[in-house]
Amino acid sequence: MKPKKTFHELGLSEDVLNAVSDLGFTEPSSIQSEAIPLILSGKDVIGHSRTGTGKTAAFAIPSLEILEEGEQSPQVLVLCPTRELVVQVAEEYRKLGKYKEDFQVAAIYGGDDITKQFKALKRKPQVIVGTPGRTMDHMDRKTLDLREIKMVILDEADEMLDMGFLEDMEIILAKVPEERQTILFSATLSAKVMGITKKFQNSPKIVDVTGGKADRPKIKQIYFEMREGLKSEALIRLLEYHTPKASLVFCNTKVRVDELVEFLKSKGVFSEGLHGDLSQNQRNKVMSGFRSGLVSVLVATDVAGRGIDVSDVEAVVNYDIPRDSEDYVHRIGRTGRAGRKGLALSFVSNKEFRTLRKIKEDHEFEMELGKVPDIAELTEKKFLEYSHIVKEVSEEGDVSEYSKLVKKLTSEGIPAERLAAALFKLALAEKSEKFDSDVRFDQDQRSFREKEGSSRNDRDRRFGGKSNQKGKRDHKDKNRNSNRFHRGGASSGGGKKGSGSGSGGPSRKKGKR
């Protein structure tokens, strides 16, 4: 089906169109233009779309159109896997339903004050957004009546299954009318996901917008080969080089998150961690700081990171390569949203290399090999940035007060060129000193690259790049490269305990997510 060009062509009401316009939406995304007409026609729909493609609006907009004015009971139920996603989806409903008379939405989830949720439900909201566990809790307490539900939406169904919510979903859906409309959205269409569609849906129409490259978020994916002990210093350097305003860093364990946050703070980086051990108040505080910009780097586990929907995340860093390829898809989908360009950086040690290669092959991703900038490159980049800033200030800013100081110093015999150089040195000193403490990093990186093969073509061939087309490999090279990247020991750069840990950053410890 050819995507519509405007929201007006989708047959939406004036109040919804006004809300869409206020949000700055001009053209519907592929998932929106295809799913909205089907949902409005009353059909059950399976939406298969990647994170960041506008799927929340794809189900929220048509569900708002089915609401009957004056009916004081829940008409739409949205189930989400995490607390964070519940809050974000509910907020999207508030924005899209702002012009609907007496419209109310209630967010119900665990870890939040249940008495506050009692009050929200007493206001007779038309839309309920909740986690399965807390939704069942309110059903048991008789504070939530689902007998008038017209539409059920299962958001991120694959995540709910992975988190063990199948039984809860079955119990909840058994309490809503059979003639309801059921919408399911998922980033993956696994056998488990398709299995529940047979249980919960009636002849659903599949909307799949994941096939074409044009529909993929514009995310540049770069991977960096390095020893485990170099990851923390590499992160600092890459954040400094790319200067993203908001970054999301993923680790595989809670312990890893805490260690990395402590390291980043010691380097002056405004960072916080997010994992399952935090209370709801702590989670809310961390997310509030990240959304407001007070926290520039959020470090999270996969479980805690699910449902994070911050539109202006400029970079995602896979500090640890995820164990599951679908987790990688969910991770990088947190950047490159709403048509923006995104950046995904992955740190890969020897023992993680096979996993990353499988991820690349499974999803046909284009990844390029990157090089962590050395001190000279970082300094050069800062020089260029400050040069542009100085030019702008000199051309547009009021520098009269500072001109007096310059005249005074030059009259005392300091040449203007030397004075400017001294000021640059002062301005850049703070930026450079964080790298001067570990000049061994550059030496370790060079040593690592030399051991693993200095040729860029050789590295691309081992990763299965464009030059390595199927059927054109040399069998001998394939075996040799496979052995090099999948064996342990010092010869592969991942060997002796403590080797290559010159950055002084967090070490790998076992821990739960």
Is the pLDDT reported for residue 499 higher than 60?
no
Is the pLDDT reported for residue 401 higher than 90?
no
Q: Cβ atoms within 10 A of the Cβ of 456, count?
A: 13
Percent of the chain residues topping a pLDDT of 70? 79
Of 161-175, 203-217, 428-442, which gets the smallest average pLDDT?
428-442
What does the alpha-carbon distance between residue 272 and residue 260 come to, in Å, rounded to a whole number? 9
Nearest to 107, CA basis, from 284, 277, 279, 282 = 284
Residue 444: per-residue pLDDT: 67
What does the alpha-carbon distance between residue 417 and residue 227 come to, in Å, rounded to a whole number? 43
Tokens 């569609």 belong to residue: 197
What does the alpha-carbon distance between residue 243 and residue 371 come to, in Å, rounded to a whole number? 16
3-class secondary-structure state, position 271: strand
Instruction: Report pLDDT digits (tens) over 270-291.
Output: 999 999 888 888 988 998 899 8
The whole-chain average pLDDT of the chain stands at 81
Residue 149: per-residue pLDDT: 97
Is the pLDDT reported for residue 30 higher than 60?
yes
Q: According to the per-residue pLDDT averaged within each range, which of 119-123, 185-189, 381-385, 391-395 is highest? A: 119-123
Give me the mean pLDDT over the 83-98 stretch.
92
Of 296-300, 322-326, 350-354, 473-477, which gets the smallest average pLDDT?
473-477
CB 278, CB 299: distance < 8 Å: no
Dihedrals phi, psi of 79, to nearest 5 degrees = -105, 130
Of 10-14, 322-326, 462-466, 491-495, which gets the smallest average pLDDT?
491-495
In this prediction the pTM is 0.61
Is the pLDDT reported for residue 170 higher than 70?
yes
What does the alpha-carbon distance between residue 110 and residue 91 come to, in Å, rounded to a whole number? 17
Q: b/e for 340-371, b at 16 or more Cβ within 10 A? A: eebbbbbbbbbebbebbbebbeeeebebeebe
Instruction: Report pLDDT digits (tens) over 411-470.
Output: 888 888 888 778 777 776 655 444 444 556 666 666 665 665 544 455 555 565 443 333
Domains of the chain: 7-212 (3.40.50.300), 217-372 (3.40.50.300), 453-492 (no CATH)
At residue 389 the predicted structure's pLDDT band, cuts being 50, 70 and 90, is confident
CB 225, CB 452: distance < 8 Å: yes
Give me the mean pLDDT over the 196-217 stretch.
78
Is the pLDDT reported for residue 503 higher than 80?
no
Who's near 356: CB < 8 A, 6+ residues apart? 223, 321, 346, 348, 367
Of the two residues 259 and 505, the one the predictor is more confident about is: 259
Residue 46: per-residue pLDDT: 96
Tokens for 180, please give them: 């309801």
Of the two residues 21 and 486, the one the predictor is more confident about is: 21
At residue 78 the predicted structure's pLDDT band, cuts being 50, 70 and 90, is very high
What value, to the nearest 5°, has the Cα angle with vertex 303 and ends 237 and 271? 35
CB 334, CB 305: distance < 8 Å: yes
Instruction: Report pLDDT digits (tens) over 91-148.
Output: 999 999 999 988 999 999 988 889 999 999 999 999 999 999 999 999 999 999 999 9
